[in-house]
Amino acid sequence: MNPIRRALLSVSDKTGIVSFARALHEMGVQIISTGGTARTLQEAGIPVTPVEQVTGFPEMMEGRVKTLHPAIHAGILADRRKPEHLQALQAAGIEPIDLVCVNLYPFESTVARTDVTLEEAIENIDIGGPTMVRAAAKNHDSVAIVVDPADYEAIIEEMRANGGAIGLETRRRLAAKAFAHTAFYDAQIAAYLRAQFTPETLFPQEFTVALRKAQELRYGENPHQKAAFYRIPGFTEPSIATARQLHGKELSYNNLLDCDAALELVKEFAEDRPACVIIKHTNPCGVAVADSLPEAVERARLADPVSAFGGIMALNRPVDAATAEKITAPNTFFECLIAPAFAEDALPILTEKKRWGANLRLLEVGRLTPPQEGWILRGLTGSVLVQTRDVQMLQEQPEAVRVVTQRAPTPEEMEQLLFAWKVVKHVKSNAIVLAKDWVIVGVGAGQMNRVQSVRLAAEAAGERAKGAVLASDAFFPFPDNVEVAAIAGVTAVIQPGGSVKDQEVIAAADRLGLAMVFTGMRHFRH
């Protein structure tokens, strides 16, 4: 291992750079630097060789060209194991560079601004920085590349312990991290420019996604699986990715899945009356809308109190003390609670009243907004599926609802049908939802045949199925679905339609006195 004798420092994020440079200087390392970084170090009293002194050329074009020069890149790229490379350096009068510390123009924070212009975004696309990073990472056998201020202290400690040298294992780890850093950076640029220049191209031939790790999880779906939680930079819609955890132990992989399901469903009621959603294993087991949030909580929980126990709850209004009292009522237990905000007097009730409150995860997501267009990524073995989000709602196109039976739904039935329709799109297919008086009273989810989902929903509803309405995420393939629903007491049905047996299904509904509407829109969720 050869000691570090010459380092190039050029950073946009100057966190820790002064102490890092001072430690390098104290070990006898010559520091080359550019622009703002050089000024920062000089002001701190650290000797710096300006990059233009090395290249013989001043910075040009408002700093666009400063390190793109053989005196820099030959010094970085020379493989010290090859005599011919060292001879070429000597012949050109170029000294090798042993360490490169670079982080890139702040493209991410620039484009996150609502008032950013295209010109500003383009100017914050770094060229020289990634070039130096990639060059140093490629030549990691000879050069150490540092892109993360979090690595400064460990690097200095290793150098002090090894006579100024950095071991090959560390250089390899830093190189891998550096290539991930530039790939992440370029993925953000590609996403921004796609949105600006080719918004009509939903699925480009090469699809890149930038992800930043939020946390490593204790395990995945099961204890023998490993897992981590990543966020997409710049995503601002209220979500689990943007939520602030106020209380409770670390979220697990399954918690995150269920919390996402709960929040996505309660967003359907973002602009409605107070609403409560309770999720178990990504399916809703309790959903209610009421005139007050405490009433919505109680009605949602009582819809299926056995399943609600240990579930995930999401609310579309801030949690006050009265709501907290309902959440912590006798015979209750919830893993997580998601809401736009929490009143100060609600927090002690939620966290101290019940023994399980100490571990209750409280997630604050801010004011809810309806879901926006975007992508959903789903991993398969060795591949990924990408699709647009299912955000279309009947309320946006009421003309799509078509009465197909002799009896039209009453106004009250139509309200309940649209309520059930909001919920059924968040239930695993084959999905059936029964609703009555603004409460989901029965759910049939994830069955291999639809009539079995109807039976399960009716069984869960029991006597409450009498006078309830039914929503189905896809068409009824046979009249037996309607027949089972009618026996349970269902009075009206909403479904997409589109089966080759639609006329037989409609005839069965007419024979049994049910009202039925077609939406022309399917909501499969696998």
Q: What is the mean pLDDT of residues 465-475?
A: 96
Q: Which residues contact 396 (CB under 8 A, 6 or more apart)?
A: none
Confidence check: pLDDT of 152 > 60: yes
- Work out the pLDDT band at 57, boundaries 50, 70, 90: low
Distance from the Cα of residue 407 to its chain's centroid: 45
Q: What is the mean pLDDT of residues 348-371?
A: 94
Cα dihedral 169/175/180/181 (nearest 10): 120
- Work out the pLDDT band at 499, boundaries 50, 70, 90: very high
User: What per-residue confidence (pLDDT) applies to 19?
Assistant: 93
Which is it for the CA torsion 306, 307, 309, 315, positive or negative?
negative
State both tokens at 350.
Answer: 């939620």
Domain 6-196 identical in fold to domain 397-518: no
Confidence check: pLDDT of 169 > 60: yes
Q: Which residues contact 25 (CB under 8 A, 6 or more apart)?
A: 31, 46, 47
- Work out the pLDDT band at 394, boundaries 50, 70, 90: low
**Domain spans of the chain, in order of start:** 6-196, 212-364, 397-518
Q: From residue 109, how far is each of 105, 189, 192 by CA, in Å?
A: 9, 12, 12
Q: What is the mean pLDDT of residues 473-489?
A: 94
User: If you count them, how many residues does the chain have?
Assistant: 526
Whether residue 428 lies in the annotated active site: no
Amino acid at 243: A
- Work out the pLDDT band at 83, boundaries 50, 70, 90: confident
Is residue 301 within 8 A of residue 308, CB to CB? The reply is yes
**Bigger pLDDT: 59 or 374?**
374
From 73-82, 166-175, 289-298, 438-447, the region with the lowest mean pLDDT: 73-82
From the list 65, 70, 23, 18, the residue with the least C-alpha distance to 44 is 18
User: What per-residue confidence (pLDDT) applies to 90?
Assistant: 78
Is residue 376 within 8 A of residue 391, CB to CB? The reply is no
Q: What is the mean pLDDT of residues 86-92?
A: 76
Tens digit of each residue's pLDDT (9 = 90 or more) over 510-525: 999 999 999 998 999 9
Tens digit of each residue's pLDDT (9 = 90 or more) over 227-281: 999 999 988 899 999 999 999 999 999 999 999 999 999 999 987 899 999 999 9
Catalytic residue chosen out of the listed positions 85, 177, 281, 353: 281
- Work out the pLDDT band at 63, boundaries 50, 70, 90: low
User: What per-residue confidence (pLDDT) applies to 474?
Assistant: 93
User: What per-residue confidence (pLDDT) applies to 372?
Assistant: 84
Q: From residue 477, how far is each of 266, 423, 459, 474, 496 by CA, in Å?
A: 30, 21, 21, 9, 11
Catalytic residue chosen out of the listed positions 85, 138, 354, 501: 138
Confidence check: pLDDT of 1 > 70: no
Instruction: Among 3.40.50.1820, 2.90.10.10, 3.90.25.10, 3.40.140.20, name the CATH number for the domain at 397-518.
Output: 3.40.140.20
- Work out the pLDDT band at 301, boundaries 50, 70, 90: very high
Q: Is 197 exposed, middle or buried (0-12, 13-18, 19+ CB in 10 A)?
A: exposed
Confidence check: pLDDT of 60 > 60: no
- Work out the pLDDT band at 411, boundaries 50, 70, 90: very high
Query: What is the fold of 212-364?
Result: Cytidine Deaminase; domain 2 (3.40.140)
Is residue 306 within 8 A of residue 462, CB to CB? The reply is no
Q: What is the pTM (predicted TM-score) of this model?
A: 0.88
Distance from the Cα of residue 331 to its chain's centroid: 33
Please give the helix or strand (H or E) that residue 322 lies within, else none.
helix 321-327
Other CB atoms within a 10 A radius of the CB of residue 295 amount to 19
Whether residue 138 lies in the annotated active site: yes
* DSSP-assigned states of every residue in 141-183: TT-EEE--GGGHHHHHHHHHHTTTB--HHHHHHHHHHHHHHHH
User: What per-residue confidence (pLDDT) applies to 396?
Assistant: 52
Instruction: Among 3.60.15.10, 3.40.50.1380, 3.40.630.30, 3.40.50.720, name the CATH number for the domain at 6-196.
Output: 3.40.50.1380
